[in-house]
Chain A
Amino acid sequence: MSSTHSPIEVTSDELRAMSPEEQMLAGAEADGVHVVHRRNRFPIPGTKAEKRAERGVAMCFLISALAGVGFVVAFVAMPFHWHLPGTPQTFRFYTPALGGLLAVMMLFMGVGLVLWAKWLMPEEEVVQDRHDEPSTEEDRLLTQATLMVGIDDTGLPRRSLILRTLGLAGGAIATVPLIAMVGGMIKKPGKQLEHTLFTPNPKLFPPAGLVPLVYSDWRRVSPDDILPGGIATVFPGIREVGADGKTGVTSASSPTLIIRLRPGQKVEARKGQASYGWPANAPEYVAFSKICTHAGCPASLYEQQTTRLLCPCHQSQFEVLKDAKPVFGPATRSLPKLPLGVEVGSDGRQYFVARSDYTEPIGPAYWERS
């Protein structure tokens, strides 16, 4: 077949004399669209096959409409309020029913349309000229000249003073709004990442300021609460809302894991941190930051048998007996250790306090960290 049909040349009288189909073909030709094959799928009118196809498509649309009605009925009539287990759980059918009926409605609409096109609309094979050659040399030349003369008219090539000052102004326009917008969002990190709420706070806890350790429900943590081999997640007992809008329990840097060793277990402490556990001379309890030093997830899966802490996000593993040193996975730094102390409460029981803040930043590493 040839792809270079010339646009049809017919008079308007000839056009008017054409049938609509011929006019359509003429219009297509004029647009460089050549209908090379076109065939009515049912050239003989009134065949059963045609009626069958028509009924099939109509059936699809009917099912779609019925599913739509079904959706409205289900939407209005079905129970959807959540109820406790043990009571009728009919609400559980609500979402599947809605989604299913919507899907049926959409599916049969879509299938009906596609079948309509495939079964009933004429077969056609159409070829369109792409006309995707680049512009002609002449066009390029003329456009280039238009641009050049235009630039020349502005005088920019000659007036370097204007060009340079314009460059300055353009630079300002491009950057100043950005600075104005982003500038307001800049916050100076300062030393904020180096401290947690365990920092002794004489104002809240006179006289020594040692911050008590609490559970998430603000109960104080006593050594007796934890069985040998057991763990507890604890927080600084500070109810005041800090700079980040959080209390001790909700602050992201606070979560701390106290582990009570089993008899006979001993932690090889890092240099200078031998006394961070409790009791200081022969630590039975050790407290590590729960925030993984890799990506900041809580490293909270403690395997009693292997004495390893696992972070479920990227599977870093920390050996508790080696002072929470990373032994597998992507983490590079040990979990920081909290110096534990104990004070006697008003009820005569012993309660944990933090003797000081962590001595290194908790959580993932960052540039300023040594």
Chain B
Amino acid sequence: MTANARRTGAPRTPAGKVAKFFDDRLNLAGPMRKQLNKVFPDHWSFMMGEIALYSFIILLLTGTYLTFFFDPSMADTVYHGRYVPMQNVEMSKAYESTLNITFDVRGGLVIRQIHHWAALMFVGAMLIHMFRVFFTGAFRKPRELNWLIGLTLIVLGIVEGFAGYTLPDDLLSGTGLRIADAIMLSIPVLGTWVSFLVFGGTFPGDLIIGRFYIVHVLVIPAILAALIGAHLALIVRQKHTEFPAPGRSEHTVSGERVFPIYAAKAGGFFFIVSAITCALGGLFQINPVWLFGPYNPAQVSSGSQPDWYMMFLDGSTRLFPSWEVRLWGHTLAPLFWPTVVLPGILLTLAVGYPFLEAKMTKDRLPHNMLQRPRDVPVRTSLGVMALTFYLVLFLSGGNDIIAKAFDISLNAMTWGGRILLLVAPPILYIITYRICLSLQRHDREVLEHGVETGIVKVLPTGEFIEVHQPLGPVDEHGHGQLAYAGTPVPKRMSQLGVGVPLRHIRGFFYPVKEKPEIQAAIDELEAAEADGQPARDEQHQLTD
């Protein structure tokens, strides 16, 4: 809109006319301005959720494309396609159409691989995002609801991934499905009924791919999309958390406005995430189903691995001892504990954690400021403990690969995993707790005594001391008076601006030299800005 149009009130430009058309009908000017002006804080760790969101969009786009060619049918067929090693092999139409996507559709393989990589990234980004939220305390009141939605998204993401992994009906996915059937069978009382309900009879039957297909392309994506919408709506409603810093408070959020800067950065980041998935999909082979062959219940390849997000369950299954309960003519299979009970416990703990923490700390206040992990040692240590537990399970999910690669006995790997699973988390808890306390102490030490300058002075008494640079005003004993405010404390002189050139030289092959008159104007402006600097710094006192 030109200034002119604004003055007269009647738009003359095409954009102005379009704006008027919509505003006349929807009364958008006010609400829209509010969204354009919305402020988003900037921190690298806030990008994990964005990666998850962008991978989901990539999954929707590539997934839709794949449905144009995929045939979710378990009907038998004989392959006569272009991939000679599979010629005349009996297979399901699902597997055949996956081969066709790979070998006959122009660019089909790259899209399929991008889809698979994006799925791996989707779950991974969600999980890392969850840990970010956990370790910084972002789940605290008022954001417990979003924590719960996030957990649901992770569980659904894993189920969605498993369903998609099953669809090609190849040897690897069929083996995974067989294990899933065994897990269903292990459920007490209802197990066989659940298995027969899901498969429409005994495993594998001829319905399961069709059923998983509709679950994979419609049911779960629809729920995921709705929950992602709710997750984002809550972020917009409650506004983003941020780390404490000078000038920030519980009652404000600071950063850049959505339009134009944040939009440009977030939009750019979407393309960067897309670029990574495309590069992975093009350059790194994933799930080469044509090498596995069609599913055959009599075959399996050694080193069978599920997708990474399932590996912790595979690991728990490998590690769990052979304990079976037989009672009154019934069997409680050993599979039940590591694959149903264990994830159930993990999920319950995650669901309950925000409420448990609030109860234990009696902290019922809303929090918009994030915490540094070191400042909440118990939570951080619990998180590291959970992470260690998860990592031991995860590595045990590939313990045969590790055993082979490092020439270790497989049985030793299993026993090592069993022992580590119980011993490592508490040890890591203690170590993390000590590290947190030490980091806290160091922060306070620097606040009290200042930053080490590296300058050693000899006193007249002959005593050697290192000169410390105080961070703020000091009392009569030379002790700093700044209180810790939950922000990073500078610990090196370079972080205080010492020894850092004020302005680095611009230019790639040679320094950029401005014309003398322009350089003079720049120098003048910089001098003026430097004069006004203290005034701005005053605004940024700690507002603790």
Contacts and interface: CB of A to CB of B under 8 A. Distances in A.
A107 B271 contact: yes
Interface in B1-49: 3, 6-7, 33-34, 37-39
Contacts, number: 338
Contacts of B281: 99, 102
B96 to A, nearest CB: 15
A99 B269 contact: no
B183 interface: yes
Given A31-B37, A245-B206, A298-B297, A364 B275 contact: no
A223 to B, nearest CB: 20
Interface in A103-122: 103-107, 109-114, 116-118, 121-122
Given A100-B282, A252-B203, A128 B38 contact: yes
Contacts of A125: 254-256
Nearest to A114: B268
Q: Which one of B38, B188, B278, B366 has the greatest number of beta carbons of chain A within 10 Å?
A: B278
Interface in B54-98: 74, 82-84
Interface size class of B (residues with CB under 8 A): 35 or more
Given A107-B271, A117-B268, A369 B330 contact: yes
A250 B169 CA distance: 14
B331 A367 contact: yes
Contact of B253 (A84, A127, A244): A127
A110 B521 contact: no
B302 A312 contact: yes
A216 B296 CA distance: 10
A146 B278 CA distance: 54
B265 A243 contact: no
Interface string B525-544: 10000000000100110000
B278 A106 contact: yes
A110 B200 CA distance: 47
Nearest to B3: A20
A44 interface: yes
B469 interface: no
Interface in B251-291: 251-257, 260-261, 264-265, 267-276, 278-283
B282 A114 contact: no
Given A185-B197, A193-B192, A365-B324, A112 B268 contact: yes
Nearest to A235: B298
A244 B281 CA distance: 37
A19 B3 CA distance: 8
B322 A182 contact: no
A296 interface: yes
Nearest to B184: A366
A126 B204 CA distance: 59
Q: Which one of B193, B297, B506, B507 has the greatest number of beta carbons of chain A within 10 Å?
A: B297
Interface stretch (A47-55, A267-275, A348-356): A47-55
A129 to B, nearest CB: 6
Given A44-B518, A295-B182, A128 B331 contact: no
Contact of A113 (B195, B201, B265, B330): B265
Interface in B311-350: 314, 317-324, 326, 329-335, 338
A113 B271 contact: yes
Nearest to B247: A1
Q: Which one of B271, B281, B320, B514 has the greatest number of beta carbons of chain A within 10 Å?
A: B271
A192 interface: yes
B298 A97 contact: no
A290 interface: yes
B257 A124 contact: yes
Contacts of B195: 189, 366
B37 A367 contact: no
A16 to B, nearest CB: 6
Contacts of A43: 525
B167 interface: no
A120 to B, nearest CB: 10
Contacts of A329: 318, 322, 414
A220 interface: no
Contacts of A189: 192-193, 195-196
B522 interface: yes
Contact of A182 (B33, B197, B269, B301): B197
18 contacts: A31-B33, A96-B283, A99-B281, A103-B275, A106-B275, A110-B274, A117-B264, A126-B257, A130-B251, A130-B252, A132-B238, A296-B179, A297-B304, A328-B411, A330-B338, A332-B333, A332-B334, A370-B331
Leading 4 A-B pairs by shortest Cβ distance: A99-B282, A110-B271, A113-B268, A255-B298
